[in-house]
Amino acid sequence: MKLTEAKQQFISSWGAFGTHWGINRTMAQIHALLMVSPDPLTQDDVMAQLDVSRGNVNMNMRDLISWGLVDRVILSGERKEYFTAEKDIWKVATQIIQERKKRELEPMLKLLAHLENIEGDKKDKEVKQFVDTIAGIRKFGKQADQMLSVMVKADESWFLAGLLKIFK
Amino acid sequence: MKLTEAKQQFISSWGAFGTHWGINRTMAQIHALLMVSPDPLTQDDVMAQLDVSRGNVNMNMRDLISWGLVDRVILSGERKEYFTAEKDIWKVATQIIQERKKRELEPMLKLLAHLENIEGDKKDKEVKQFVDTIAGIRKFGKQADQMLSVMVKADESWFLAGLLKIFK
DNA sequence: ATAAGTTTTCAAATTATACTGAAAGTTCGA
DNA sequence: TCGAACTTTCAGTATAATTTGAAAACTTAT
């Protein structure tokens, strides 16, 4: 297979993959493109390679930057802005975990804590099931939250060595 | 807070949460409703409580069943079908992991393996960056896949005990 | 100060996704 | 075998998400 074709296939699959995880296609595709590009690209480069509009590239690039997955780069002597993506996949993963934790998991845990305090007789099975379910999810979520915190701070090799200890 | 209100808030938030993870709102809401309902519900119950159409409930219920999160229940003497959700959150989580692994992670790994075999000079930095990126993602994905396999088979308490060993 | 180069914004258009509801299909008891 | 009870399907409709493109807002260099 030729590089161009492989690249195209990777970008397109990464985009489709993203849509299954709540990430819009173009954003995932820009990320994929930057990950396989050795040098920083301009907005025009991305527009040309993915065949999308300037506004679209601009907005999604901003989002990617807010997720900490892409950086603006100024090349000396150049007027244009360039963009580059983190290529260490462990760093990419921990960055995404950190952001989703902050944006989604933590607010959810806050809500669940709130919902546990309902009036009503615990003898009523409707009440009991509700409280038990909420409590169960919250406990699980808190454990996940802690585990992910450690993971985010961890070094990849240390983390993998640790997993081996459990799983062998 | 009253039970009815808390329930409503949980269902609505669970739906919004789902949409951030590629799950449609109604499907997530049906799941939430069944998780907090002590007894099995009929399609009509769900239609009434979530105010959605029969077709919508039917299709999403089928999906939930295919994800292994909801079961059909036949109550003796009753003509109608009833539905009930797994309420042990560890089981829910491992079930989701198992399905997403099968539906998304494994096909992606297969594609990546395929994409690593490209023609071209490894001295070309475009080629090198592509191969390195793909290889990096694939390696990471394989490790995640293995780890999740163990997790899916594991018992919750065993798993948590193991994590403690790493993280303390 | 100004103009060319560049980035950002956002209303409108487009596309993708989800939902409805009625008809068709199925099941089961009499 | 019939028909009432119930479930499934899917074309059409509605909603939500994404994308465009052109105008506005910047940002230098001179």
Average pLDDT over residues B127-136: 98
| Diameter of chain A measured on Cα atoms | 73
Looking up tokens 């393996």, which residue turns up? B113
Nucleotide nearest residue A26, measured CA to C1': D18
Tens digits of per-residue pLDDT, A33-62? 999 999 999 999 999 999 999 999 999 999
Does any CB of chain A come closer than 8 Å to the CB of residue B16? no
Q: Which residues of B touch A162 (CB under 8 A)?
A: 166-167
Residue B80 confidence (pLDDT): 94
Measured CA angle at A97 (ends A95, A101), to 5 deg: 120
- Give percent of chain B with pLDDT exceeding 90: 86
Residue A167 confidence (pLDDT): 64
d(CA A76, CA A40): 13
Whether the Cβ atoms of residue B16 and residue B8 lie closer than 8 Å to each other: no
Residue B77 confidence (pLDDT): 85
Residue A31 confidence (pLDDT): 98
The sign one gets for the Cα dihedral B21, B23, B26, B30 is negative
Q: Which residues touch strand D (CB under 7 A)?
A: A 24-27, 51-56, 59-60, 79; B 19, 42-44, 54-55, 58-59, 61-62, 79-81
Residue B167 confidence (pLDDT): 65
Whether the Cβ atoms of residue A154 and residue A91 lie closer than 8 Å to each other: no
Buried/exposed code over B2-21 (b: 16+ C-beta within 10 A; e: otherwise):
ebeebbeebbebbbebbeee
Between A and B, how many residue pairs show a Cβ–Cβ distance under 8 A? 135
Do A140 and B93 lie within an 8 Å CB cutoff? yes
Residue B113 confidence (pLDDT): 97
Residue B159 confidence (pLDDT): 80
Residue B168 confidence (pLDDT): 62
Chain B, window 22-51: residues with a beta carbon less than 8 angstroms from a chain A beta carbon: 22, 35-39
Give yes or no for CB of B54 within 7 Å of strand C.
yes
Q: Which residues of B touch A115 (CB under 8 A)?
A: 1, 6, 9-10
- Mutate which of B4, B7, B89 to disrupt the A interface (most A C-beta within 10 Å)? B89
Three-class SS string for B62-101?
HHHHHCCCEEEEECCCCCCEEEEECCCHHHHHHHHHHHHH
d(CA A63, CA A52): 16
- Mutate which of A108, A133, A151 to disrupt the B interface (most B C-beta within 10 Å)? A133
Task: Please report which helix (H) or strand (E) contains residue A73, including its range.
Answer: strand A70-74
User: How far does the CA of residue B69 sit from the closest CA of chain A (Å)?
Assistant: 15
B76 pLDDT above the threshold of 90: no
Listed as ranges, residues in chain A with pLDDT below 70 are 167-168
Beta bridge partners of B41: B83
pTM of the model: 0.94
Q: Which residues of B touch A93 (CB under 8 A)?
A: 140
More confident residue, A164 or B76: B76
B115 pLDDT above the threshold of 70: yes
Average pLDDT over residues B146-153: 93
Residue A102 confidence (pLDDT): 96
Average pLDDT, chain B: 95
Average pLDDT over residues B95-102: 97
